[in-house]
Amino acid sequence: MKEDMNSDPQRTMKYDSIPISTDRILPDFAKSLEDITKKIVEMGGSPESASVEIEKYFLEWDQNEYSRLIVSYKRPETDLELTQRVESERSYTEQAEVRDRAEYERLSKKFGKQRP
């Protein structure tokens, strides 16, 4: 359903992530999971929405292989993100109307204002 531009916008959920070095997490995994859950809640996120990705990487000047966990989760958008999204949607709608009106005028000139 399209949101009325004059009504109060509904807050959406955003995906966010926390990169974690595996050197920090593996020695005490249970404590680390508890800390990650607390961090997600502090950030306004939902621990139930969390997913974990393991990323391996190399440094250009180093021969060692490194890895880290990336914990992704959903959280409500902030006031700033809400304002930016609403303004972006409003701008896009206005630009689309200008573009559509210009196209209508161009076609009206080309074909005349004929009615079926």
pLDDT in tens, the chain (116 residues): 455 556 778 887 777 777 766 666 666 776 777 888 888 888 888 888 888 888 887 888 888 878 787 888 888 888 999 999 999 999 999 999 999 999 999 998 888 866 65
Claim to verify: residue 21 and residue 54 sit in the same structural domain: yes
Claim to verify: residue 70 and residue 83 sit in the same structural domain: no
C-alpha dist (Å) from residue 47 to 29, 36, 40, 69: 16, 9, 6, 15
CA dist., res. 83 & res. 90, Å (int) = 11
Number of domain units in the chain: 2
Q: Is 27 within a domain?
A: yes
Claim to verify: residue 89 and residue 67 sit in the same structural domain: no
Claim to verify: residue 53 and residue 101 sit in the same structural domain: no
Q: Is 109 within a domain?
A: yes
Claim to verify: residue 62 and residue 97 sit in the same structural domain: no
